[in-house]
Structure 1
């Protein structure tokens, strides 16, 4: 591991996600190969100048994506399947074409998720959706926590499908998109955007709660169309 030379990470970025990306780059560039053991949490924390809890969260992200496997008491290893996995780097979406393509992919996934959530959600699922909505509409709606709550809302809808793959893919795409949107939001007329966004989420929540899949799909489509318009995206929708 002598050539494992990641520098210290800038504090302004979301550390676990940034470190997960750095480790994924080591894997994709074959400096870490399938079956290789990752350095220990202690070594990684020291090398990167962060706490072990940050390293643990980064490794958990990579495990969720299937890039690494952890073995109790032994450590983390590069997954044998890692070569086949999809990974999108955060900075890729700073390219307008890539961002638009990613947003386009999000639309059919999330519309379908909304319909399935209306049919299959449990009481606990609805509580999770409502908790995210409460965060979005509370005192912190003007802050970055409002964006986090928005992301939680979409993840909660995806989980309500009872299909774990929706939760994985929608969560992955929504997170990448929200990082890019955070920058756009800073430039926009915040008050107008926040109130409109909240109204769209409330309509979606109510359609899901009423177990009406067609209304839920329509509400999600309206929300995503509005979201695209607000950041100046023109998308093909049918």
Structure 2
């Protein structure tokens, strides 16, 4: 293994490690706020504070309770909706879903949503490939550490059997920030949660499959992160291209499966 890469990997603390890295405080960033609100709502559901069929507080109430903008609340709810935890009923509110109800396959796959996610991926690809290359050239030491921390957070989510959606988006935000061109982050913020399609469109995938998928995504991210850390512009672009191309292929496969089942 390349010595420089080995040293960089060594800086990523393993589970249970006492190593502490000083990084810039980003606790007030949009990605962190979305994650904070999402985790609070997920905990409330998991603890039984809200049970299937219950209505969650309104958007206005959530913004006041968590002291965040409506955009942050909408992104957190969108991520939970994609994970099959809640349902947004127009004019009625946000309701907790029953994870034990198994819907038929052709109802569990939302064809329109898969198509929309694929469209976002196609538009996002050239900009994010460019962002990865620029991040490799321009990233500061603090920005490099922020990228590493986001990558570590994804691993923590995997180890705790949690959705990686919000942590995934935070990593892409960190890469966009490392370009030092604010338009790259604005592009991701515009698409919001749709910029990071859910790993499984069905809300009830087998746990082993879900974990395997998340670890695969983490491995793809690792190649991108290490290339940016090494200031290898070409490798960073190629790694991001491979990552996004893989996502597009997976979503096209879902659409093909949907058509086959529906025919």
Taking structure 1 as the reference length, the TM-score comes to 0.58
Rounded Cα–Cα distance in structure 2 between residues aligned with 1:49 and 1:130: 34
- Counterpart contact for 2:118–2:252, Cα < 8 Å: no
Q: Is the contact made by 1:154 and 1:171 (CA closer than 8 Å) also made in structure 2?
A: no
Q: How does 1:40-59 map to 2 (within 5 A)?
A: 48-50=60-62, 52-54=64-66, 56-58=68-70
Per-residue deviation at 1:57?
A: 2.1
Does 2:235 match 1:223?
no
Distance across 2 between alignment mates of 1:104 and 1:113: 15
Which of the numbers 222, 226, 233 marks the counterpart of 1:202? 222
Q: Is the 8 A contact 2:60 2:70 kept in 1?
A: no
Aligned-pair CA distance for 1:104? 0.5
Question: Highest relative contact order (Cα 8 Å, sep 6+), 1 or 2?
Answer: 2
Match of 2:19 in 1: none
- 2:184 equivalent in structure 1: 166
Equivalent in 182, 198, 223 of residue 181 of structure 1? 198
Using the alignment, how far apart are the partners of 1:182 and 1:195 within structure 2?
Answer: 11
How far the C-alpha of 1:232 sits from its partner, in A, is: 3.3
Say which SS state the counterpart of residue 130 (structure 2) adopts. helix
Q: What is the alpha-carbon distance in structure 2 between the residues aligned to residue 47 and residue 101 of structure 1?
A: 28
Q: Secondary structure at 2:179's aligned position in 1? A: coil
Partner of 1:98: 116
Query: 1:143 pairs with 136, 150, 162, which one?
Result: 162
| Residue aligning to 1:120 | 138
Structure 1 residues 194 and 50: alpha-carbon distance in aligned structure 2, compared to 1, 3 A threshold: closer
> Which consecutive residues of structure 1, in runs of 5 or more, have no partner in the other structure?
1-12, 15-44, 63-91
Q: Deviations over 1:126-166 (max 9, x none)?
A: 1111111111112545312x221111111100000000010
The separation in 2 between residues aligned to 1:200 and 1:101, in whole angstroms, is 21
Aligned residues: CA RMSD: 3.3
Give the TM-score normalised by structure 2: 0.53
- How many equivalent residue pairs? 162
Q: Is the 8 A contact 1:120 1:160 kept in 2?
A: yes
